[in-house]
């Protein structure tokens, strides 16, 4: 399996990958453009990147064997995650590995801004001795506003509090309890923070809400003379608006590690501005952070490719080992239920309704099971590239929605997984399953609202027939004549003499002609052969 390391990661990470005989590791010595990458990725199973290489849709589409993109770091904005998802490619990052390094850089920026360190140093290098111009301010007693109190934001908060700063935080997605334990004052409206903060530091990802959030209007609502720090992502600040706010003195200074365009163009006006402190995206560039991220990215990629374990995926919910053990039997049952329904349902369906009843209701996470049901169902499309990563997105593209319900209603079985298929409001087919004795023994026990008992593998022949004496013998003889051996057979009838649903588990698949012969019998109809 070819692993293409596109950006420089720690040698330890590369060694770990190289230690696996299954992997053939290629390391690029410099950043490659999209065009240059295309021929190199065609046979790659994994790509390893930091923030420099752009893994675009074209790159993903050119990489036909690609299964995983590993990002040694946090931000995945250089990876087209949507395209990856659609193509069944897992995107994994290493959150946490560079948290401390970035928080420490932020503190360095804070101090550098307060004491004008880079400017003072530059004047010394230029032969000057100017104490007046570089007089600064203390951090103690000043108010720090943190936008985004995640991993890095909260580490910055701890350090700023130790410096005697008053810390305000804005993060609408954070649980209150965590903030309280930090000693940060959480504001509900960002303006409350803008009004009071002497320093504002940004620690959010780029999202639809945060892109361009620090613009002219935001600067105007901030305390005059505010100082800004951005060690998160350049696109969060509108760069021209920052320059204008600096000109007016509304913003007194800013320390930036990240830019809308990276590398920052050589002639960018930022480079000449005296109130700006600039670093070339160094937040994660420490020995320690690189080692942690490099090793972790190698580990998560290796586990995924060699065992299927999913850790740190940004486009697939996390599944810890314990939860995985609990859901595992349901993955098999769900996939088989989906597969059965996929073969029996009419072509255009638009909704699957999945009910988790009995003990299934208590599963810690039903998402993987629903994905398994969908995978089974969509196997009828013959698309060989459907996997857990892209199955929901493929279903959405096909116009199929999925609803899941944990039901409290009493059920006959201890565990109950039931799937109904709809065309508009019309239920077209449904099936339910459970385990017999142990989770290793899944069974389909309801079909077309009738009790059945269908083993979950092999060739299954389903037919409806008139409940009349001799029918079983007749079907058995007919199949026997064509050399088809019946492994098991069960009949389910609504009433004596009425319609019966017959389910036969066959050792081998009958030809089309045998099915037609069965269908010619006036007492037999709906002959369907499925393979589970």
Ligand X SMILES: O=C(O)C(=O)COP(=O)(O)O
Ligand Y SMILES: NC(=O)C1=CN([C@@H]2O[C@H](COP(=O)(O)OP(=O)(O)OC[C@H]3O[C@@H](n4cnc5c(N)ncnc54)[C@H](O)[C@@H]3O)[C@@H](O)[C@H]2O)C=CC1
Query: Which residues contribute to the site for ligand Y (CB under 6 A)?
Result: 73-75, 95, 98-99, 102, 147-153, 170-174, 203-205, 207, 209-210, 231-233, 257-258, 281, 283-284
Instruction: Confirm or reject binding of residue 13 to ligand X (CB under 6 A).
Output: no
Catalytic sites, residue numbers: 233, 262, 281
Residues in the chain: 532
CB 102 to ligand Y: min, Å: 4
355 binds, among ligand Y, ligand X, none (CB under 5 to 8 A by kind): none
Single out the segment in contact with ligand X by CB under 6 A; choices: 153-161, 179-187, 276-284, 515-523.
276-284
The contacts of residue 10 (CB under 8 Å, 6+ apart) are 72, 290, 291, 293, 294, 295
Nearer to ligand Y, 93 or 250 (CB): 93
Got the DSSP string for 254-306? Answer: EEES--SSSSPPTT-GGGG-TTEEE-SS-TT-SHHHHHHHHHHHHHHHHHHHH
Nearer to ligand X, 74 or 109 (CB): 74
Nearer to ligand X, 262 or 404 (CB): 262
CB 233 to ligand Y: min, Å: 5
Distance CA 474, CA 482 (A): 13
CB 379 to ligand X: min, Å: 37
Instruction: Confirm or reject binding of residue 432 to ligand X (CB under 6 A).
Output: no
CB 147 to ligand X: min, Å: 16
Number of residues that bind ligand X (CB under 6 A): 12
Report the sign of the C-alpha dihedral through residues 202, 204, 210, 211, in that order. Answer: positive
The contacts of residue 516 (CB under 8 Å, 6+ apart) are none
CB 391 to ligand X: min, Å: 28
Nearer to ligand X, 218 or 284 (CB): 284
Which one of 5, 41, 48, 51 is in contact with ligand X (CB under 6 A)?
Answer: 51
CB 214 to ligand X: min, Å: 17
Pairing state between β 226-230 and 251-256:
parallel
Instruction: Confirm or reject binding of residue 74 to ligand X (CB under 6 A).
Output: yes
Instruction: Confirm or reject binding of residue 283 to ligand X (CB under 6 A).
Output: yes
The contacts of residue 25 (CB under 8 Å, 6+ apart) are 3, 5, 14, 17, 18
Which one of 123, 215, 279, 285 is in contact with ligand X (CB under 6 A)?
Answer: 285
Binding mask 85-104 for ligand X (x = CB under 6 A): -------------x------
Nearer to ligand X, 284 or 394 (CB): 284
Q: In this structure, are residues 8 and 29 in contact, taking their beta carbons and an 8 Å threshold?
A: no
50 binds, among ligand X, ligand Y, none (CB under 5 to 8 A by kind): ligand X
150 binds, among ligand X, ligand Y, none (CB under 5 to 8 A by kind): ligand Y
Which one of 109, 160, 245, 284 is in contact with ligand X (CB under 6 A)?
Answer: 284
CA dist list (Å): 365 to 85, 245, 324, 421, 445: 20, 48, 9, 22, 23
CB 172 to ligand Y: min, Å: 6
Distance CA 151, CA 351 (A): 39
Phi/psi for 18 (5° steps) reads -65, -25
Distance CA 106, CA 155 (A): 10
78 binds, among ligand X, ligand Y, none (CB under 5 to 8 A by kind): none
CA dist list (Å): 47 to 12, 66, 80: 17, 8, 13
Nearer to ligand X, 7 or 166 (CB): 7
Q: Which spans in 3-150 are helix H?
A: 11-18, 34-41, 57-62, 81-86, 99-115, 117-125
List, in sequence order, every residue forming a beta bridge with 230; answer none if it has no partner.
202, 256
Nearer to ligand X, 51 or 355 (CB): 51
Q: Which residue is nearest to ligand Y (CB)?
A: 150
| Residues found near ligand X in the complex (CB under 6 A) | 50-52, 72-75, 98, 281, 283-285
């Amino acid at each position: 399996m070819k692993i293409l390391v596109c950006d420089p990661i720690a040698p330890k990470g590369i060694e770990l990958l190289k230690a696996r005989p299954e992997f053939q590791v290629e390391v690029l010595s410099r950043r490659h453009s999209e065009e240059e990458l295309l021929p190199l990725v065609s046979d790659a199973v994994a790509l390893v990147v930091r923030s420099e290489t752009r893994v675009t849709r074209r790159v993903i589409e050119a990489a036909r064997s690609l299964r995983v993109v590993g990002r040694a770091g946090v931000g995945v904005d250089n990876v087209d995650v949507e395209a990856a998802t659609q193509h069944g490619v897992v995107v994994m990052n290493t959150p946490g590995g560079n948290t401390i390094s970035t928080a420490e850089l932020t503190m360095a920026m804070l101090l550098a801004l307060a004491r004008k360190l880079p400017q003072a140093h530059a004047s010394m290098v230029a032969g000057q001795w100017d104490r007046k111009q570089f007089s600064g301010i203390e951090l103690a007693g000043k108010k720090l506003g943190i936008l985004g109190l995640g991993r890095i934001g909260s580490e910055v908060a701890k350090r700023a509090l130790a410096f005697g700063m008053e810390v305000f935080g804005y993060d609408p997605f954070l649980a209150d309890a965590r903030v309280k334990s930090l000693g940060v004052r959480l504001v509900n409206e960002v303006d409350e923070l803008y009004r009071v903060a002497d320093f504002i530091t940004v620690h959010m990802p780029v999202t639809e809400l945060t892109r361009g959030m620090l613009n002219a209007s935001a600067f105007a609502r901030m305390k005059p003379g505010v100082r800004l720090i951005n060690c998160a992502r350049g696109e969060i600040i509108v760069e021209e608006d920052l320059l204008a706010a600096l000109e007016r003195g509304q913003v007194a200074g800013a320390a930036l590690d990240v830019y809308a365009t990276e590398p920052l163009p050589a002639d960018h006006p930022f480079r000449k501005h005296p109130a700006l402190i600039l670093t070339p995206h160094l937040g994660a560039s420490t020995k320690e952070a690189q080692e942690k991220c490099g090793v972790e990215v190698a580990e998560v990629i290796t586990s995924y490719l060699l065992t299927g374990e999913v850790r740190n995926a940004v486009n697939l919910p996390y599944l810890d080992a314990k939860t995985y053990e609990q859901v595992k039997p349901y993955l098999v049952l769900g996939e088989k239920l989906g597969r059965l329904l996929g073969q029996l349902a009419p072509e255009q369906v638009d909704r699957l309704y999945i009910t988790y009843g009995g003990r299934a209701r208590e599963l810690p996470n039903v998402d993987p099971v629903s994905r398994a049901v969908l995978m089974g169902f969509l196997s009828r499309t013959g698309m060989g590239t459907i996997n857990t990563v892209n199955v929901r997105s493929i279903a959405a593209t096909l116009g199929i929605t999925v609803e899941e319900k944990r039901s409290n209603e009493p059920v006959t079985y201890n565990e109950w997984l039931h799937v109904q298929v709809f065309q508009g409001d019309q239920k077209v087919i449904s099936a339910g399953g459970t385990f017999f004795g142990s989770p290793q023994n899944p069974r389909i026990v309801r079909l077309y609202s009738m009790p059945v008992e269908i083993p979950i593998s092999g060739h299954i022949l389903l037919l409806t027939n008139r409940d009349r004496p001799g029918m079983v013998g007749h079907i058995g003889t007919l199949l026997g004549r064509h050399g088809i051996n019946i492994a098991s057979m069960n009949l389910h009838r609504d009433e004596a003499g009425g319609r019966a649903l017959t389910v036969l588990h066959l050792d081998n698949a009958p030809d089309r002609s045998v099915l037609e012969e069965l269908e010619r019998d006036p007492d037999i109809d709906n002959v369907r052969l499925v393979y589970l």
